[in-house]
Amino acid sequence: MGFSEEVRGAAETIRNAETVSVISHIDADGITSEAIVRTAIARAGVPVTSHFVRQLEPLTMKAVPEDDSLKVFVDLGAGQQNLLEERGLSVDEVLILDHHVAQPCETPYQQVNGVPYGHTKLSAAGVAYFVARELDSANVDLAKIAIVGNVGDMMARETLGLVGLAAEIVEDGIAHGSVLAIRKDLNCYGTSTRPVHVCLSYNDDPRIPGITNDMRGAERFLSRLEVASKTVDGRYRVWEELGRDEKKAITSALVQQLLANGESVDRLFAESYIFVDEPERSPLRNASEFATLLNACGRWAKPRIGSSVCCGDRGTVYREAEYMLNNHRTIIRELLGFILETGVTELSHLQYLHVGDRYPDTIVGIGAGMALGKLNWRKPILIMCTLPEDPTLTKVSMRTNEWSVRRGVDLQAVLTLASGEHGGGGGGHPIAAGAFIPRDAEEVFINRVNELLRDQLA
Ligand SMILES: [Mn+2]
C-alpha cells in the first residue's frame, strides 16, 4: 500500500462514520490539522467534535471520549498505539493521521503517515490536507492552513522552502488564489509585522556580523543604503511593503557583508508563503507568523481559539488570539530577561540553567532559543523547569542553531537517548527538542547530555 491508498482509505472510513471525535495536539501543526480535519468532516455531513491534548500519555487518554464515535487522532497517535490498545480501542474505531514514527503494535490500526514512504517533510497538517482533498476537491481552500501547519512544524527550515508533497499543497494554494509563494525571499522571521531593522537583527540564520543581535547596527545598515525605515506618517515599515529595488539593495548588501566575513550566503534566501486574502501587516499575512499566533494560543491552553481563527473567525475570537499573541510575547521577554540576568552555567559543550517553577514549561524552550543568540551561540542551551502538576518530574528544553546542526549536533537524538536512560522520554528536531526526566536525575543527566554533544561534534 502506498501513501495515496492510505489517503483514499482514510477518506472512505470517514465517509462511513456515524460520528467522529478528533483528538489533536496543541501546537501549530496540531491546531491546523484539527481545523482541516474538522472542517472537511463537517462539510462531508458527518457530526464531529474535537479534543486537544498537550501530548498523548496515560493521563491525557481521558480526553478520548468513551463512545461509539470514530476516533481520528491527528499529529499524534502513531507513537502511542499501545495506549489506544490498552484503552481497548478496536481496529474499526480508530484512524491515525500522523507524521511521527510509528511504534510497533499488535492491533493494525488504520493510519495515514508519509514517513514510511519517505515523505519526511510533510507534517500532520499536510497529511490531514490530503485526506480532506480526497473527501472533496473543493477543500483546496484549506491548503493555506496546511501550509501554516507545515511551516510551523519546521518542515521548510532545512530545505529553505516546502518540498515534496508539501510543495504540492503550495501549488494547490496558488491555484486556489489564497497563497502567494515568493521563491527567493529573505530568509527571515517577521517580514509582515516587524520593523525591517528588528526583523534583520533578530535573524541568526544566517548570522550576519554587525546586524544579528545588533538592532542599532541593523538601523545604521538600512540608513547607509538610504532605505527609509518609516513611512511618511511615522510608522515603521515592514519587509513585505518595501519596493523591489529596496529589497534588492538590502539583499545585495547582505550578500557582500556575508562574503566579506567569509560566511556562506546559502541560507540568506528562502521561499516564503504570503496569504493574499489576509490584511497586510497582520500576523495572519504569512505562514510563519500565522503559526506563531497558533502556538501562542496552544501554549496558553486556548487551542480552540487558534482553531477558530484557522476556520476564518475574525471577530472577537480573533481579537482574543491577538491578545494571546501579545501576552505570549510579553512573558517570553520576561523569561529572556530572567535567563540573561541569572546567567547560565557553561560546560565544555553545553550551557544550562534551571528556571524552577517561574515559567510554564510550554514557553521555556522559546525563551531558550531567544537567549541563545545573546549568549555563547556556539554551545547548545538547555533550560530545565519544574512541572507544577508533578513535582517529581523536570521538563528539559534544548535549542541550538543551524550553525551547530551543520556541524553534527542533533538535539533530538541527544535528549531521546539521555532521558531514556532515566526512564524519561524526549522528542523534537535536531535544532529544538524537549524531554521529561525524573527530578533527582538532573545532575547526571546534564553531564550525560554534555558528553553526547561532545561525541556528536567529534
Ligand atoms: Mn506535527
If you average pLDDT over residues 432-447, what whole number do you get?
95
Q: Choose among 425, 372, 437: nearest CA to 447.
A: 437
Distance of CA 66 from the midpoint of ligand 1 (Å)? 25
Note whether residue 425 is domain-resident.
Answer: yes
pLDDT (0 to 100) of residue 260: 93
pLDDT (0 to 100) of residue 177: 98
> Do 358 and 314 belong together in one domain?
no
Distance of CA 100 from the midpoint of ligand 1 (Å)? 7
Q: Choose among 455, 427, 421: nearest CA to 441.
A: 421
Distance of CA 374 from the midpoint of ligand 1 (Å)? 28
Distance of CA 172 from the midpoint of ligand 1 (Å)? 21
| In the predicted structure, residue 115 carries a pLDDT above the cut 90 | yes
If you average pLDDT over residues 349-370, what whole number do you get?
94
In sequence order, what are the beta bridge partners of 269? 186
pLDDT (0 to 100) of residue 456: 97
pLDDT (0 to 100) of residue 56: 84
Distance of CA 52 from the midpoint of ligand 1 (Å)? 13
At 207, the pLDDT band (50, 70, 90 cuts) reads confident
Cα separation, 321 vs 296, in Å, equals 8
What is the SS3 assignment for the chain? CCHHHHHHHHHHHHHCCCCEEEEEECCHHHHHHHHHHHHHHHHCCCCEEEEEECCCCHHHHHHCCCCCCEEEEECCCHHHHHHHHHCCCCHHHEEEECCCCCCCCCCCCEEECCHHHCCCCCCHHHHHHHHHHHHCHHHHHHHHHHHHHHHHCCCCCCCCCCCHHHHHHHHHHHHHCCEEEEEEEECCCCCCCCEHHHHHHHCCCCCCCCCCCCHHHHHHHHHHCCCCCECCCCCECEHHHCCHHHHHHHHHHHHHHHHHCCCCCCCCEEEEEEECCCCCCCCCCEHHHHHHHHHHHHHCCCHHHHHHHHCCCCCHHHHHHHHHHHHHHHHHHHHHHHHHHHCCEECCCCEEEECCCCCCHHHHHHHHHHHHHHCCCCCCEEEEEEECCEEEEEEEEEECCHHHHHCCCCHHHHHHHHHHCCCCEEEECCCEEEEEEEHHHHHHHHHHHHHHHHHHHC
Distance of CA 379 from the midpoint of ligand 1 (Å)? 26
C-alpha distances out from residue 432 to 124, 155, 256, 414, Å? 18, 13, 30, 11
The C-alpha cell 491508498 sits at 5
Distance of CA 273 from the midpoint of ligand 1 (Å)? 19
| In the predicted structure, residue 59 carries a pLDDT above the cut 80 | no
CATH number for position 9: 3.90.1640.30
> Do 125 and 258 belong together in one domain?
no
pLDDT (0 to 100) of residue 368: 95
Beta carbons within 10 angstroms of residue 245's beta carbon: 9
> Do 111 and 245 belong together in one domain?
no
Distance of CA 242 from the midpoint of ligand 1 (Å)? 33
Per the prediction, the chain carries an average pLDDT of 95
At 427, the pLDDT band (50, 70, 90 cuts) reads confident
Distance of CA 106 from the midpoint of ligand 1 (Å)? 24
> Do 12 and 109 belong together in one domain?
yes
| In the predicted structure, residue 204 carries a pLDDT above the cut 90 | no
Distance of CA 33 from the midpoint of ligand 1 (Å)? 9
| In the predicted structure, residue 376 carries a pLDDT above the cut 90 | yes
Distance of CA 58 from the midpoint of ligand 1 (Å)? 20
Distance of CA 268 from the midpoint of ligand 1 (Å)? 26
CATH number for position 433: 3.10.310.40
pLDDT (0 to 100) of residue 391: 86
> Do 190 and 227 belong together in one domain?
yes
If you average pLDDT over residues 399-419, what whole number do you get?
94
Peptide bond into 206 cis (omega under 30): yes
pLDDT (0 to 100) of residue 55: 82
Q: Among 115-119, 210-214, 341-345, name the one with the lowest average pLDDT.
A: 210-214
pLDDT (0 to 100) of residue 429: 86
Distance of CA 14 from the midpoint of ligand 1 (Å)? 21
The per-residue pLDDT for range 10-23, each reduced to its tens digit, is 999 999 999 999 99
CA dihedral (411, 413, 418, 423) positive or negative: positive
Distance of CA 30 from the midpoint of ligand 1 (Å)? 6
Protein residues placing their CB within 5 Å of the ion ligand 1: 29, 75, 123-124, 153
Helix axes 143-152, 124-135, angle to 10 degrees: 160
> Do 348 and 412 belong together in one domain?
yes
At 407, the pLDDT band (50, 70, 90 cuts) reads very high
Asked which of 106, 138, 170 is the last residue of a domain, the reply is 138
| In the predicted structure, residue 385 carries a pLDDT above the cut 90 | yes
If you average pLDDT over residues 370-397, what whole number do you get?
92
Distance of CA 99 from the midpoint of ligand 1 (Å)? 7
Note whether residue 150 is domain-resident.
Answer: no
CB 152 within 8 A of CB 291: yes
Distance of CA 124 from the midpoint of ligand 1 (Å)? 5
Q: Choose among 125, 378, 398: nearest CA to 273.
A: 125
pLDDT (0 to 100) of residue 388: 81
Distance of CA 212 from the midpoint of ligand 1 (Å)? 29
Distance of CA 76 from the midpoint of ligand 1 (Å)? 8
At 188, the pLDDT band (50, 70, 90 cuts) reads very high
Show the domain range for 39.
3-138
The per-residue pLDDT for range 264-290, each reduced to its tens digit, is 999 999 999 999 999 999 999 999 999
Distance of CA 24 from the midpoint of ligand 1 (Å)? 10
- When divided into structural domains, the chain yields a total of 3
Cα separation, 47 vs 360, in Å, equals 35
Note whether residue 252 is domain-resident.
Answer: yes
> Do 119 and 213 belong together in one domain?
no
Note whether residue 157 is domain-resident.
Answer: no
Distance of CA 29 from the midpoint of ligand 1 (Å)? 5
Distance of CA 123 from the midpoint of ligand 1 (Å)? 5
Distance of CA 289 from the midpoint of ligand 1 (Å)? 17
pLDDT (0 to 100) of residue 54: 85
Distance of CA 28 from the midpoint of ligand 1 (Å)? 8
The per-residue pLDDT for range 298-333, each reduced to its tens digit, is 999 999 999 999 999 999 999 999 999 999 999 999
